[in-house]
Chain A
């Protein structure tokens, strides 16, 4: 089955700096890669996603890159703000199989 590894497990940055979270996956059939943000005690919420026919996608301060050959994808947050502090999860899925496999999460702390 699919295996997703996420690094780092914790990340602390100064407000205004950039944050990068990386994930690798094992199943070359995976073709959909969402990122979720989960604040303490709340539900995971989708912040950005990328499909395997695209190498990069950007939405304001958030971008995701995908390298299918190397089987890794990354989340980039620029100009971080304290409200970006949360746990971020990556996931990989094969849309034919249905389920998503999640990484173990990265706890991002943005210090004012």
Chain B
């Protein structure tokens, strides 16, 4: 049973370009979460999605950032017109909701470097 997959693992972009990060949840999981981690800092929640729905995007910057989780295919986190401050590790996690609670399993992360 494959775990959460993310690609690319490393992404280098120049200022002003677009970054597109992909996340494939664990098999059977229909809930995806994106987090950003700056060097030597904690995990900051960005967005929570279910298939075809954004449930909570309270941690997402209002401009340049968007996320989707289509009916088919991976979840995508898109950052338009990247700036140096966007350089970070972006982790996604997936979960299978149960009545007793849920556990989030993390992918290996995408390390974005903006030159």
Contacts and interface: CB of A to CB of B under 8 A. Distances in A.
B33 A99 contact: yes
Given A99-B33, A101-B45, A46 B97 contact: no
A95 interface: yes
Contacts of A51: 100-101
Nearest to A50: B101
A102 B56 contact: no
A45 B45 contact: no
Interface string A18-62: 000000000000011010100000111110010100000000000
Nearest to A52: B101
Interface size grouping (class) on chain B? 20 to 34
A34 B103 CA distance: 8
B100 A100 contact: no
A34 B31 CA distance: 17
B109 interface: yes
B45 A44 contact: no
Nearest to B4: A43
Interface size grouping (class) on chain A? 20 to 34
Nearest to B35: A102
Contacts of A112: none
Interface string B74-86: 0000000000000
A79 to B, nearest CB: 26
Contact of A99 (B45, B101, B107): B45
B43, B48, B102, B109: which has the most chain A beta carbons within 10 Å? B43
Contacts of A99: 33, 45, 48, 56, 58-59
Contact of B109 (A32, A36, A43): A43
B102 A32 contact: yes
Contacts of A95: 97, 100-102
Q: When A and B form their complex, which 3 residue pairs have the shortest distance between CB atoms, in order from nearest?
A: A32-B101, A104-B42, A43-B106
5 contacts: A45-B106, A93-B102, A98-B31, A99-B59, A102-B42
